[in-house]
Structure formats: structure tokens, C-alpha cells
């Protein structure tokens, strides 16, 4: 059990060893996203279901959450029931948009899929095994954006987190190309533990300019951002 202390919290969430737990990024997305009454929402990579729960509490008509792990889907379903929004949430196990109903069109997409490079995920332990975002951290978000266009209503909003611990420029460029209009909503500078910043794999990725970390005093800092892309 973990306690969500972000928007509309606090409340408790069930988790399992393979469940992605709410992070600083989750908190930033929750604070940034706008959901109107009767909106149809897709929560891609729903994990514990926390962002689906918040979207439902903000007035969404229905939230469709997707995750690759069946156990995670069961946990998200239980968390939504515990928060009284089971009537407006439904969760699917599968790859990206594949399990969603045919013809579904969303007003809001929460695109909080893993965007951290495999080597960074291994060094930090921030993600359960197998849930990182590819060699550069951009591969999974790019695939999500490419598929998202077929599920968005005209004028629909994608709330997209990125970070300097991934190939962020590729994701931003792709979102701009695919959706036309993109604007930054928020950013936060986050210290890296020395055990992470001194990891040889992370040092090499910084030297190769795949990731961007900066020094502030004795600490190494990375930057997380949330963007809004309009279909």
C-alpha cells in the first residue's frame, strides 16, 4: 500500500511488486491535466490507476486505462472501486491501444508511458523490470504518440510528460509533427542521487548527449516537464 499525496489526495493505493508506483512525474501530470464534464479519457500505462481515478473525480464520463500487466489491471480496478469511481473507469490488459474498443475516440489522453532509457532504469531501480522505455527512453513514447492520433477527437488534448533523462527532443519534435500544437505546462528540476549520477552507464549517455543532466553545486540535476499537445 502507498499513499497518494498529490492532487485530490491523500488516499491509499494498492500496489504489487510489478506495479509502477506513482512518481514525481505522476504528480506533475495530475496537477497539469484538465478534464471536463463528460470527457472520454484514455490513461495509457495506467499502473496503479491513480491518474484514471483523478480524471474520473474531475468529471470524466469514462476513463479507459491500459497496462501491459494483468495483475496491475486488477489492482487499478480495485483502487478505482475503493475511491468510488468504478462506474466511470474500465481497465484493459494489453499493448498500447490494442485492447481498446474499436472506434473509441477520446477527448483526453494521459500519455504517462515509461520514458526512461533501459540503462537508466537499471541504474536507478525506479521502474520494475521490463517497464523501461527503450535504449534512448524515447522509443515507447514515440510509439504511443504514433498510435494516439487514431484515437483522438479533433481538439482533443494529450498530456505528455518528458524528461532530460531521455531523448526528450525526439519526443517533443514528434508530438509537434503529429499534433501540430504543443505547449509546455510545467517543469521541475529534480536532484539525482550520487549513486545514480556516478553510474558509468549514465555518465556515458550524458557524454553521448542522449540525456541531459546539469550540475548545481555538488548535485546533479535532471528536468521533468509536462506538455499539452492538441489534436
Residues 97/151, Cβ–Cβ less than 8 Å: yes
Identify whether 46 is part of a domain: yes
Range of the domain at 169: 2-93+104-187+226-230
State the pLDDT at residue 170. Answer: 93
State the pLDDT at residue 22. 93
Answer whether 91's CB lies under 8 Å from 76's CB. Answer: yes
Q: Whole-model pTM above 0.75?
A: yes
pLDDT number for residue 90: 98
Q: With a cut of 70, list the residues of the chain below it in pLDDT.
A: 114, 125-133
pLDDT at residue 201, as a whole number: 82
Residue 125 CA to residue 142 CA, distance in Å, equals 23
Does residue 173 belong to any structural domain of this protein?
Answer: yes
Q: Which three cell numbers stand for residue 50?
A: 491513480
Under 8 Å between Cβ of 11 and 39: no
> How far apart (Å, rounded) are the C-alpha atoms in residues 70 and 68?
7
Q: What is the CATH number of the domain that holds 77?
A: 3.40.50.150
Is residue 207 in some structural domain? no
- Residue labelled with grid coordinates 495509457: 44
**Cα distance between residue 26 and residue 48, in whole Å:** 11
Q: What is the pLDDT, as a whole number, of residue 202?
A: 84
Cα end-to-end span (Å), the chain: 36
On whether residue 169 sits in a domain, the answer given is yes
In a domain, 146, yes or no: yes
Number of domains present in the structure of the chain: 1
Backbone angles phi, psi at 20, to 5 degrees: -70, 125
Three cell numbers, residue 74: 486488477
**What are the cell numbers at 10?**
491523500
Q: Cβ(33)–Cβ(63) under 8 Å?
A: no
How many CA within 13 A on the CB side of residue 49? 36
pLDDT at 47: 94
Which pLDDT does position 130 carry in this prediction? 52
Asked if residues 159 and 165 have their Cβ atoms less than 8 Å apart, the reply is: no
The answer to whether residue 214 sits within a structural domain is no
Of 18, 63, 70, give the one whose Cα is nearest residue 43.
63
Whether 158 is covered by a domain: the verdict is: yes
Write down the pLDDT at residue 78.
Answer: 98
Residue 133 pLDDT:
58
- Is there a domain that residue 201 lies in? no
pLDDT digits (tens, 9 = 90+) for 120-178: 777 776 665 455 557 888 898 999 999 998 999 999 999 999 999 899 999 999 999 99
Amino acid at each position: 500500500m502507498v499513499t497518494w499525496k498529490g492532487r485530490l489526495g491523500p488516499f491509499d493505493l494498492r500496489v504489487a511488486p510489478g506495479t509502477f508506483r506513482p512518481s514525481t512525474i505522476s504528480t506533475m501530470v495530475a496537477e497539469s491535466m484538465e478534464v471536463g464534464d463528460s470527457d472520454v479519457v484514455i490513461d495509457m500505462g495506467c499502473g496503479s490507476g491513480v491518474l484514471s481515478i483523478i480524471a474520473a473525480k474531475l468529471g470524466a464520463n469514462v476513463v479507459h486505462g491500459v497496462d501491459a500487466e494483468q495483475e496491475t489491471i486488477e489492482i487499478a480496478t480495485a483502487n478505482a472501486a475503493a475511491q468510488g469511481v468504478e462506474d466511470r473507469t474500465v481497465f484493459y490488459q494489453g499493448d498500447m491501444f490494442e485492447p481498446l474498443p474499436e472506434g473509441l475516440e477520446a477527448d483526453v489522453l494521459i500519455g504517462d508511458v515509461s520514458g526512461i532509457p533501459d540503462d537508466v532504469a537499471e541504474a536507478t531501480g525506479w521502474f520494475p523490470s521490463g517497464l523501461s522505455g527503450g535504449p534512448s527512453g524515447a522509443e515507447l513514447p514515440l510509439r504511443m504518440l504514433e498510435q494516439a492520433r487514431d484515437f483522438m477527437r479533433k481538439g482533443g488534448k494529450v498530456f505528455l510528460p518528458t524528461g532530460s533523462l531521455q531523448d526528450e527532443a525526439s519526443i517533443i519534435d514528434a508530438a509537434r509533427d503529429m499534433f501540430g500544437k504543443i505547449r509546455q505546462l510545467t517543469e521541475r528540476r529534480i536532484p539525482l542521487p550520487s549513486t545514480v549520477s556516478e553510474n558509468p552507464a549514465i555518465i556515458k549517455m550524458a557524454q553521448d548527449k542522449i540525456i541531459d543532466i546539469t550540475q548545481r553545486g555538488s548535485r546533479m540535476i535532471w528536468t521533468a516537464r509536462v506538455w499539452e499537445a492538441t489534436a
